[in-house]
Structure 1
Amino acid sequence: MQSNHVLRRLFVTLFVFVTMMTLGGCAGFLNREPMRVNVAGIEPLEGQGLEMRFAVKLRVQNPNDAPIDFDGVSLDLDLNGRPFASGVSPQRGTVPRFGEAVLSVPVTVSAWSMARQALGLASGDASTRVAYAVRGRLAGGAFGGASFSDKGAIDFPTGGGAFND
């Protein structure tokens, strides 16, 4: 009878200790700064039929005190509020604490997406401004991964100027 009481106390103490450690770890995880993600480059890839494919190079910066481990990347790109390209990669790696990594994600642009964008540009005003939104996720890790997003607009030059972000 005495040994059951000791085992029960040990189990309760262990449970409380593990719960406190887990909650403390979650609290630290919730105070994370968001990742900074920029498109570092775009390279053409071979497509099939009417689709276009590109390798989008992402520069991922981790402004946090802990590394971000990932096992897979997903990426969606919208132009002018419409879906344009998407892609996934089984790439694995780590974005070091207070560091950065460059990831390559192959994306596909369907013929329908290209047609929608062309029709939107043709029916709209002759604006040289294209709004974009990038959303994605580094999958895996201890807490299921980390999401990222960025949005803005690109001004295309009308006469010989440079691109503005």
Structure 2
Amino acid sequence: MQSNHAVRNGLIALFVFFAMLALGGCAGFMNRDPLRVNVAGIEPLEGQGLEMRFAVKLRVQNPNDAPIDFDGVALDLDLNGRPFASGVSPQRGTVPRFGEAVLSVPVTVSAWSVARQALGFASGDASTKVAYEARGRLAGGAFGGARFSDKGAIDFPTGGGALGY
């Protein structure tokens, strides 16, 4: 009877030990600075039907003293507060400690997203500035990876530029 009690106490002690290790790991992630992500470029890809596809280049900077390993990337792009494009990539890699990496994520733009943006321009919702927001996640690790976001505005030339305004 005492051996069952000893085994149970040993299992409880082992569980507490692993729980403390896990919480210690969580504490390490709590002190992690957010990643800095900027859209570094956009290149056209071949689309299907009415959709458009682009390779969005992201410059990811890691301001932390530990590297960040990732196994997959997800990205959502909004223009003028409206969903515009989304994409995923199974790309794997590491953003070194106090370093950076450039990732390429293929995104799809539906014909409906283009139509919504065009209607926004036609109705006068937009000016020569287009606000964008990029949100995403580097997947991987025991705690789901690292989330990121970037906001900004793109200035389009006025007076008969590429958009014909």
State whether TM-score is above 0.5.
yes
Alignment of 1:123-162 (within 5 A): 123-124=123-124, 127-158=127-158
Tell me the equivalent position of 1:12: 12
Quote how far apart the aligned CAs of 1:75 are: 0.7
Tell me the equivalent position of 2:106: 106
Deviations 1:117-151 (A, max 9, x none): 11101111672111111111111222112111111
Question: Scaled by the length of structure 2, what TM-score is found?
Answer: 0.87
Change (3 A) 1:117 1:126: closer
**Long gaps (5+) in structure 2:** 160-165
Tell me the equivalent position of 2:42: 42
Q: Which amino acid aligns with 2:16?
A: V
3-state DSSP class of the match of 2:25? helix
Alignment of 1:42-61 (within 5 A): 42-61=42-61
3-state DSSP class of the match of 2:24? helix
Q: Which amino acid aligns with 1:92?
A: R
Q: Which amino acid aligns with 1:22?
A: A
- Determine the C-alpha separation between the residues in 1 that align with 2:150 and 2:4: 57
Question: Scaled by the length of structure 1, what TM-score is found?
Answer: 0.87
Deviations 1:33-77 (A, max 9, x none): 111101111111111122211101111111112222211111111
- Determine the C-alpha separation between the residues in 1 that align with 2:26 and 2:153: 35
- Which moves more between the two structures, 1-10 or 133-142? 1-10
Tell me the equivalent position of 2:162: none
Q: Is the 8 A contact 2:80 2:132 kept in 1?
A: yes
**Long gaps (5+) in structure 1:** 160-165
- Determine the C-alpha separation between the residues in 1 that align with 2:125 and 2:147: 34
Identity of aligned residues (%): 87
- Determine the C-alpha separation between the residues in 2 that align with 1:54 and 1:5: 63
Change (3 A) 1:56 1:126: closer
